[in-house]
Amino acid sequence: MDLEISGNGAVVTGGASGIGRAAARELAREGARVVLWDLADSVDGVAQQIAVDHGVEAVGVRVDVTDAESVAAALQSTLSALGAIDHLVHAAAIGSGKFGFPFTNLRPEDWIKTLNVNILGMVQVAHAVAPTMLERGRGTMVFVSSVAGQIGSQTDPPYSASKAANINFAQCMAKDLAPHGIRVNTVCPGMVQTALNRGVWQAWHDRQPPDKRRSYEDWAGEKIRNVIPMGSWQTAEDIADMIVFLSSRRSGQVTGQTINVDGGFVMHW
């Protein structure tokens, strides 16, 4: 199936690792030119490797998505490289690093950084990129949320609440931008072996007495058996496949949707 994105320009935030890196790779595999936005120093090296592997233009840009000036500078660098932005994939996010069950384990100040990155970071990026798409009358945006944003995951309430906000804001944007030919959707991963997922385990582990602690493999394995009907991890590539499809012309009538790639974790009964 030709997804008809070859030669298009795509921005992927959080592109240096995890789901963002997988999305950038899959977009490049389909022939898209990609610019990776990330705070990590490794972003240049990841972009260079994508360029080598897939024979497309790939550029790394260091950016703090919570800082308006940093985002504005990244946008200008991106437009210089791509000429135009056809697709935005926003995967940049963090967890609180705290085990939040019950939520009274947390203090109000434990929420600030997570909400700033996960909500206001999305806001900064959306406000920067949307006008460039409005000028051209086309574009796609895919925001990476989480099943935690739908079920109220107790393990990290700041993360869970921020992911619910991602879904809601994406729906607001979808309604505003649809008349202008711009589609906005959200993808919600289930259990994916990323640094963020491991951080949830670490926060839980550190609060347990020594006799209650379990390895990451045991902890996550039991959770998968209990909550994933298909009984297995989802991979970053599984999520990336959906992101690329939603960015393509093959999903031309899909907007304002929240798509779970979760092995059946969230079923709305």
Which residue numbers are catalytic? Answer: 159
Q: Which amino acid is at 27?
A: L
Nearest partner of 245 among 254, 236, 256, judged by Cα: 254
d(CA 38, CA 44): 9
Rg of the chain over all Cα atoms, to the nearest angstrom: 18
3-state secondary structure the chain: CCCCCCCCEEEEECCCCHHHHHHHHHHHHCCCEEEEEECCCCHHHHHHHHHHHHCCCEEEEECCCCCHHHHHHHHHHHHHHHCCCCEEEECCCCCCCCCCCCHHHCCHHHHHHHHHHHHHHHHHHHHHHHHHHHHHCCEEEEEECCCHHHHCCCCCHHHHHHHHHHHHHHHHHHHHHHHHCEEEEEEEECCECCHHHHHHHHHHHHHCCHHHCCCHHHHHHHHHHHHCCCCCCECHHHHHHHHHHHHCHHHCCCCCCEEEECCCCCCCC
